[in-house]
Amino acid sequence: MIILKTRREIEIMKKAGRLVAESHELVRKHIKPGVTTKELDRLVEDFLRSRNAIPTFKGYNGFPFAICASVNDEVVHGFPSERELKEGDIISVDIGATFEGYVGDSAKTYLVGEVDEEKKHLVEATRQSFYEGIKFAKTTYRLSDISHAIQTYAESQGLSVVRDYVGHGVGKKMHESPQVPNFGKPGKGPRLQEGMVLAIEPMINAGVYNVRVLENNWTVVTVDGKPSAHYEHTVAITDGEPELLTVV
Ligand code: MG
Ligand code: MG
């Protein structure tokens, strides 16, 4: 069942979303060669707690950290660690915050110093695929119109769309119905309705779309070792244009 949100609830979700966006701004300022992903995790956790928000991921199904930090061939659910970022890396940072009982969820992929053209293209096209998708985040469309637009754009850029992980509804819980795949035929799934709130989150690979999970039972990597990027916002469906909630 898809839980529709009232205007009042969406206003609270914007507060949670803003804290996620501010966390991303902090991360962006700190990303440079030599920084460890654990430092980024600490930074975000301290910031969220200072604002009376809860880092949603910490303890979620046993996930041990406040952020997911996925470097290069890591797709999602990377563990923050003592690993130092180095020039030429890309790092996807996924952040969730719960504030006044509602969740905001957003991921971005950052460049570390000078990055090669393949990775730059991947990161930019992944971001753009999100914006291609949300052109269809309106009540005149069905859910899979978003999915189809993301896939069409990503593949037109010579990239592939991860199949095993998808976006989702968001509300009081981080993962609500419906699932929001980043691939598929258009015109399927529920018609979009005012009050739906969706985490739309293309996970795009430079090589093949196949992924596997590491021995920590969390971290997802590409099977071919090629890089992967992630771009996510929490988006409210309105009676007009979609509203991004995870922005400052
Ligand atoms: Mg996320
Ligand atoms: Mg999500």
Please tell me the number of the ligand nearest to residue 57's CA. Answer: 1
CB-based burial label for 1 (10 Å; 0-12, 13-18, 19+): exposed
| pLDDT score recorded for residue 69 | 98
pTM of the model: 0.98
pLDDT digits (tens, 9 = 90+) for 115-128: 999 999 999 999 99
pLDDT digits (tens, 9 = 90+) for 162-194: 999 999 999 999 999 999 999 999 999 999 999
| pLDDT score recorded for residue 67 | 98
| pLDDT score recorded for residue 187 | 98
Region 88-116 average pLDDT: 98
Q: Take residue 173 and report the two structure tokens written for it.
A: 């819980």
Crossing angle, helix 143-156 and helix 117-134, to 10 degrees? 160
Please tell me the number of the ligand nearest to residue 76's CA. Answer: 1
| pLDDT score recorded for residue 50 | 98
Query: Quick check: 135 and 147 in contact, CB under 8 A?
Result: no
Region 94-116 average pLDDT: 98
- Residue 228 has φ and ψ, to the nearest 5°, of -135, 150
Q: What is the DSSP string of 159-186?
A: -EE-SS--EEE-SSSSSEEEEE-S---T
pLDDT digits (tens, 9 = 90+) for 39-66: 999 999 999 999 999 999 999 999 999 9
> Domains in the chain and their CATH numbers?
7-244 (3.90.230.10)
| pLDDT score recorded for residue 155 | 98
Decide: helix, strand or coil at residue 174. coil
Between the CA of 216 and the centroid of ligand 2 the distance, in Å, is: 20
Between the CA of 68 and the centroid of ligand 1 the distance, in Å, is: 8
**Residue 55 forms beta bridges with which residues?**
97
| pLDDT score recorded for residue 24 | 98
pLDDT digits (tens, 9 = 90+) for 198-248: 999 999 999 999 999 999 999 999 999 999 999 999 999 999 999 999 999
What is the DSSP-derived secondary structure letter of residue 80? P
Rounded distance, CA 142 to CA 176, Å? 17
Contacts (Cβ under 8 Å, ≥6 apart) of 55: 44, 45, 48, 49, 66, 67, 95, 96, 97
pLDDT digits (tens, 9 = 90+) for 141-164: 999 999 999 999 999 999 999 999
Between the CA of 201 and the centroid of ligand 2 the distance, in Å, is: 6
As residues whose CB is below 5 A from the ion ligand 2, the structure lists: 105, 199
Q: Take residue 135 and report the two structure tokens written for it.
A: 């052109």
Rounded distance, CA 157 to CA 150, Å? 11
- Residue 103 has φ and ψ, to the nearest 5°, of -105, 140
pLDDT digits (tens, 9 = 90+) for 3-47: 999 999 999 999 999 999 999 999 999 999 999 999 999 999 999
| pLDDT score recorded for residue 74 | 98
Query: Quick check: 201 and 103 in contact, CB under 8 A?
Result: no
